[in-house]
Chains A and B, each alone.
Chain A
Amino acid sequence: MTIDQKIVELINADIDGVISVADKGELDAVLATNSEARLYHAELSRLCKDMDSAQAIEPPPHLKHLILALAKPKRRNARAAASWLMSIPALRLSAAFAAGVALTLTFVSSDNLSKSAFDDVTGLVGTISESAGESSGKPSIQVSRADITGKIAAHRSGRIVVIDFDLVSRGPVDIIANFADRNIWFNGFAQLESAGTSVAAEPGRVTLRMDGKRRYALYLHDAGSRDATVDLQFVSSGTIVHEAQLDIGTLKGD
């Protein structure tokens, strides 16, 4: 390029509409006699016009909900925070847990499972929302895939390990939780919604099926395993789209 640097700056200023009258006169005089400068001006103008006219891309529709779900309520103003908490339908349902209104608590038994005593998990009602805000230092998984996004966190209450799922999926997704340790067994399931997530349990495995934005908890009885893990597989349209592992062996009780 042999165009003088000052002319390049004037061309850019002209394209951006910030050129002074005097400079515009000088540029016009150059453009009238310099074909290279004219071509440069035309090409750069077209490039800038193309960029300026590029259509903005819409963010994924679930992104806003995901961010709102992940942003923990601030504690400095407890009253305002409580007011906001109650404005969220899901957490309003959580509060209703305490009254035992919206809780869906499912016990699943099989030949194998029935040999194990189920612990009473009704005392854990409402712990889904607590765990979401106080899971720092506790095992958690952040899922960020096209089919499913959100967070899974675990905490312990006595012999019960509560795995809290706060997820948004596009279409039906199966989440298979595998726990090979024989000292661990399925102990219950609760969800904020009155329906929407199904659960199927068998020895060493629980399969959860969800669709859309869901908040639910899986209760596992842990008879005292060390180094126990829960392997999670996320299956969409018959394909494993994500795998993760939760280390529950190191969990300390609440």
Chain B
Amino acid sequence: MSRADDTELVKQCINGDRQAFESLLVKYQKPVFNAAYRMLHSAEDAKDVTQTVFLKVYENLDKYDPKHRFFSWIYRIAMNESIDCLGRINRTEPIEDELEDQGRGPELETDGELLKSQLQAALMNVKPEYRTVIVLKHFLECSYEEIGEILAIPEKTVKSRLYTGRQLLKDLLTGRDVH
């Protein structure tokens, strides 16, 4: 992600250049949609969140601080919107049945589709504070430092949440107790 390119696009957009906004939209709609999908496990909700994120970005571009990277700003909005959406739909409730239905085993499944759905179901059983860090690290390929910037938390906290989140996920997928 080129910081200079994004900053220039934001500047053009603030000056009323809608093509610049479209460029930002083309560049970021997929990661934003995927982040929301991983947080919410619903394509319909992810679409709504993506729409809200970009409209908020567009309306608040003049509040964007170029000292920070643009992607960290938009990802932060995406995560906040996803968590707000979770609160509205109450999808933080454990979905143990889904995991049970898909079968648990002593080892992680290797079958592609089953594993994907099990992974996503397990992810939904992890608290949003851990899920957020896991999504940013593994699905948006952010570094510890970038995650810290996005969530405005120290790197130490990023590591702590990430390691705990992975542990919880692993335990869920291997059928052990979740602590």
Contacts of A50 in B (CB 8 A): 108, 115, 119
The A interface, classified by DSSP as helix, strand, loop or mixed, is: helix
Interface contacts (Cβ under 8 Å), in number, total 111
Contact B47 A144 (CB under 8 A): yes
Q: Is B1 an interface residue (CB 8 A)?
A: no
Contact B54 A71 (CB under 8 A): yes
Q: Answer whether A8 and B163 are a contact pair too, CB < 8 Å, given A56-B30, A57-B34.
A: yes
- Cβ contacts A77-94/B at 8 Å (1 or 0 each): 111110110011000000
Q: Is A68 an interface residue (CB 8 A)?
A: yes
A241 to B50, CA, bound (A): 22
Q: How large is the interface on B (under 10, 10 to 19, 20 to 34, 35 or more residues)?
A: 35 or more
Output the nearest chain A residue to B134 by Cβ-Cβ distance: A51
Q: Is B173 an interface residue (CB 8 A)?
A: yes
Contact A64 B139 (CB under 8 A): no
A84 to B21, CA, bound (A): 11
Contact B162 A76 (CB under 8 A): no
Contact B50 A68 (CB under 8 A): no
**Segment with Cβ contacts to B, from A41-49, A113-121, A152-160, A232-240:** A41-49
Contact B50 A56 (CB under 8 A): no
Contact partner of A84 (CB less than 8 A), chosen from B18, B33, B55, B134, is: B18
Contact B169 A47 (CB under 8 A): yes
Contact B25 A43 (CB under 8 A): no
Restricting to B102-146, which residues have a CB under 8 Å from any CB of A? 107-108, 115-116, 119, 134, 137-139, 141, 144
Q: Answer whether A47 and B44 are a contact pair too, CB < 8 Å, given A58-B30, A71-B55.
A: no
Contacts of B166 in A (CB 8 A): 12, 44, 47-48
Q: Is A66 an interface residue (CB 8 A)?
A: yes
Contact partner of B138 (CB less than 8 A), chosen from A51, A57, A60, A80, is: A51
Q: Is A73 an interface residue (CB 8 A)?
A: yes
Contact A59 B29 (CB under 8 A): yes
The B interface, classified by DSSP as helix, strand, loop or mixed, is: helix
A76 to B174, CA, bound (A): 56
Which one of B16, B17, B107, B169 has the greatest number of beta carbons of chain A within 10 Å? Answer: B16
A64 to B29, CA, bound (A): 8
Output the nearest chain B residue to A77 by Cβ-Cβ distance: B16
Q: Is B15 an interface residue (CB 8 A)?
A: yes
Q: Is B48 an interface residue (CB 8 A)?
A: yes
Contact A70 B55 (CB under 8 A): yes
Contacts of B33 in A (CB 8 A): 57, 59, 63
Contact A59 B18 (CB under 8 A): no
Contacts of A200 in B (CB 8 A): none
Contact B29 A71 (CB under 8 A): no
Q: Is B75 an interface residue (CB 8 A)?
A: no
Query: Interface of B with A (CB < 8 Å)?
Result: 14-19, 21-22, 25-26, 29-31, 33-34, 37, 43-44, 46-48, 50-51, 54-55, 58, 107-108, 115-116, 119, 134, 137-139, 141, 144, 159, 162-163, 166-167, 169-170, 173-174
